[in-house]
C-alpha cells in the first residue's frame, strides 16, 4: 500500500540540506507541496513527491527525457535481457534480493527502481512492520511502479529523486538494493552515488547492487562481441575504486553467464581498524605506525650500518636504540 503523503513526508528530508520537510497547501490553488526549511517547494505529481532540485533536473535532463520515451514499452521487452542467457528473470532477481537478508521491520531502499520489477518481489519479503522506499529519477517509470505497488501489503514510499542526493536522513535504512544504474561507468557520479548509499544506510546494513558488465575474461570473446554489438552497456566496467572506505565484506561476482555483475557489501564505521602498534620482532623493531611516521631524512647507508651494529651489540632493536638516543639528547638540552 502506498503510504499517505503526510506519513511519507515524516520519513523524508531535503535532498540538499537534509533538514526536515513539511507538507503544505497553497492557499490559492489548494495544491499540495512539500516545503523545505528555506521555503522552497517541491511539487507532487499523482501523489509522487518530486524531490529533485533545479540542479538535478538540469544535470539529469537527458535521462529524464530518455525514460519518458521508454517507460511505456519498458516492461514489454525486459524479460528478453534474461532469456538471452537461458535464465528466468524472476529467479535472477530473487537471487539478488536473497542477498539482502531481509527481516521483519526493515526499512528498505530500492534505488533506480524503474517500473518496479524488483519492487514487487522485494515487497513480498516484507511485512506491515516494514517499509519499502522506492526511488527513481524518472517520473514516467515511477508512475508505472506506483500502479504495481498500490495493493501490496507492505507500506511503500515512492519519491522521484536523484541517487546522488537522496531525500533520506543519515543511518536510516537496514538494506539498500539497486539492479541497474549504480556501480557502472555509465552512471555519471558513481563515487557520489556510493557515498550517498552509505550515508543513508545504518551501520551493518546490507547493500546489493547489480547490473550489466561483461567479465574481463569475456570482453574479446565472440560471446562478448555479439552482446556489446547488441547493447553497449555490456561494456560497462565495475568501478570498485569508487567504493567508500566504510564498505565492508565486499564481494563481486558475475551473473547471466558472465554478462552481469553483483556487488555486495555492508556499511562499517569509518576506515577499517587494524593493529598498527604491536612491536615488530627483529633488529629493525618499531611498529607499523612508527615505521610509517618515523622516517628520518638524510640518514646515510654508513649511519644505518653503524646503527645496526650498535643495536646488535646492545641487544636491542634499531628503533628502540635511536628512539632512546634522540630522547636522551633532547633531555640533556632541555628540549621538549
- The secondary structure of 150-192 as a DSSP string is TT-SS-EEEEE-BTTB-SS-TT-EEEEEEESSSSBTTSTTHHH
Whether 36 is in a domain gets the answer no
50, β-bridge pairs? 160
Q: Indicate whether 312 and 180 sit together in one domain.
A: no
Whether 260 is in a domain gets the answer yes
**Taking the model in full, what pTM does it have?**
0.90
Q: Indicate whether 304 and 155 sit together in one domain.
A: no
The pLDDT assigned to 186 comes to 41
Q: What angle do CA 239, 243, 249 make, to 5 degrees?
A: 110
Q: Indicate whether 202 and 328 sit together in one domain.
A: no
187: left (phi over 0), alpha (psi -120 to 50) or beta: beta
Whether 51 is in a domain gets the answer no
Region 15-26 average pLDDT: 93
Q: What percent of the chain has pLDDT over 70?
A: 97
Cα–Cα dist 246/97, whole Å:
22
Whether 93 is in a domain gets the answer yes
Q: Indicate whether 209 and 133 sit together in one domain.
A: yes
Q: Indicate whether 241 and 311 sit together in one domain.
A: no
Q: Indicate whether 88 and 135 sit together in one domain.
A: yes
Set of cell numbers at residue 98: 536473497
Q: pLDDT per residue over 238-248, tens digit each?
A: 889 999 999 99
Task: Return the CATH number at 191.
Answer: 3.40.50.150
The pLDDT assigned to 216 comes to 95
Region 19-31 average pLDDT: 87
The pLDDT assigned to 62 comes to 83
DSSP letter string, 192-209: HHHHHHHHHEEEEEEEEE
Set of cell numbers at residue 319: 628503533
Q: Indicate whether 172 and 76 sit together in one domain.
A: yes
> Per-residue pLDDT for 183 more than 70?
no
> Per-residue pLDDT for 28 more than 80?
no
- Provide the mean pLDDT of the chain: 92
Set of cell numbers at residue 206: 546490507
In the chain, how many domains are there? 2
**If pLDDT is split at 50, 70 and 90, which confidence band does 182 have?**
low
Whether 206 is in a domain gets the answer yes
- Tell the burial category of 6 from Cβ atoms under 10 Å away from its Cβ (0-12, 13-18, 19+): exposed
Q: What angle do CA 206, 167, 108 make, to 5 degrees?
A: 30
Cα–Cα dist 140/82, whole Å:
23
Region 10-32 average pLDDT: 90
Segment (H or E) for 231: none
Domain edge (last residue) among 238, 267, 296? 267
Q: Indicate whether 136 and 209 sit together in one domain.
A: yes
**If pLDDT is split at 50, 70 and 90, which confidence band does 314 have?**
very high
Q: Indicate whether 297 and 188 sit together in one domain.
A: no
Q: Indicate whether 93 and 171 sit together in one domain.
A: yes
> Per-residue pLDDT for 169 more than 70?
yes
Sorted by sequence, the CB contacts under 8 Å of residue 174 that are 6+ apart come out as 103, 106, 107, 108, 202, 205, 206
Region 166-177 average pLDDT: 97
Q: pLDDT per residue over 213-246, tens digit each?
A: 999 999 999 999 999 999 999 998 888 999 999 9
Whether 60 is in a domain gets the answer yes
Identify the DSSP state of 279: P
Which residue reads 558488465 in cell numbers?
213
> Per-residue pLDDT for 185 more than 80?
no
Which residue reads 501523489 in cell numbers?
47
Whether 155 is in a domain gets the answer yes
Q: Indicate whether 308 and 262 sit together in one domain.
A: no
Region 165-177 average pLDDT: 97
The pLDDT assigned to 191 comes to 86
Q: Indicate whether 246 and 298 sit together in one domain.
A: no
Q: pLDDT per residue over 54-109, tens digit each?
A: 888 888 888 888 888 889 999 999 999 999 999 999 999 999 999 999 999 999 99
Which residue reads 531535503 in cell numbers?
14
Q: pLDDT per residue over 277-289, tens digit each?
A: 999 999 999 999 9
Q: pLDDT per residue over 136-161, tens digit each?
A: 999 999 999 999 999 999 999 999 99
**Phi and psi (nearest 5°) for 72?**
-65, -30
Whether 2 is in a domain gets the answer no
The interaxial angle of helices 61-77 and 139-148, nearest 10 deg, is 40
Print the domain residue range for 297.
288-332
Amino acid at each position: 500500500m502506498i503510504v499517505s503523503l503526510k506519513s511519507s513526508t515524516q520519513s523524508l528530508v531535503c535532498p540538499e540540506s537534509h533538514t526536515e520537510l513539511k507538507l503544505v497547501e497553497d492557499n490559492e490553488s489548494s495544491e499540495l507541496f512539500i516545503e523545505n526549511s528555506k521555503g522552497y517547494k517541491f511539487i507532487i505529481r499523482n501523489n509522487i513527491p518530486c524531490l529533485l532540485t533545479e540542479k538535478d533536473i538540469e544535470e539529469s535532463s537527458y535521462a529524464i527525457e530518455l525514460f519518458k520515451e521508454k517507460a511505456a514499452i519498458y516492461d514489454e521487452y525486459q524479460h528478453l535481457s534474461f532469456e538471452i542467457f537461458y535464465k528466468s528473470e524472476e529467479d535472477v532477481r530473487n537471487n539478488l534480493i536473497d542477498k539482502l537478508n531481509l527481516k521483519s521491520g526493515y526499512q528498505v531502499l530500492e534505488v533506480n527502481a524503474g517500473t518496479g520489477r524488483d519492487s514487487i518481489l522485494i515487497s513480498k519479503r516484507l511485512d506491515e512492520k516494514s517499509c519499502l522506499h522506492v526511488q527513481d529519477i524518472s517520473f514516467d517509470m515511477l508512475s508505472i511502479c506506483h500502479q504495481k505497488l498500490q495493493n501490496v501489503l507492505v507500506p511503500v514510499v515512492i519519491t522521484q529523486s536523484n541517487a546522488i542526493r537522496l531525500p533520506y536522513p543519515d543511518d536510516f535504512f537496514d538494506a539498500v538494493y539497486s539492479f541497474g544504474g549504480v556501480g557502472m561507468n555509465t552512471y555519471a557520479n558513481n563515487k557520489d552515488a556510493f557515498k550517498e548509499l552509505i550515508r543513508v544506510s545504518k551501520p551493518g546494513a546490507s547493500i546489493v547492487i547489480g547490473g550489466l558488465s561483461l567479465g574481463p575474461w569475456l570482453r574479446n570473446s565472440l560471446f562478448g562481441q555479439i552482446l556489446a554489438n547488441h547493447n553497449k552497456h555490456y561494456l560497462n566496467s565495475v568501478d570498485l575504486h569508487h567504493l567508500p572506505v566504510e564498505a565492508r565484506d565486499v564481494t563481486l561476482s558475475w551473473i547471466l553467464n558472465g554478462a552481469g555483475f553483483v556487488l555486495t557489501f555492508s556499511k562499517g564505521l569509518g576506515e577499517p581498524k587494524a593493529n598498527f602498534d604491536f612491536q615488530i620482532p627483529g633488529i629493525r623493531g618499531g611498529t607499523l605506525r612508527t615505521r610509517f611516521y618515523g622516517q628520518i631524512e638524510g640518514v646515510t647507508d654508513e649511519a644505518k650500518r653503524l646503527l645496526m651494529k650498535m643495536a646488535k651489540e646492545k641487544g636491542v632493536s634499531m628503533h628502540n636504540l635511536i628512539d632512546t638516543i634522540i630522547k636522551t639528547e633532547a633531555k640533556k638540552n632541555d628540549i621538549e
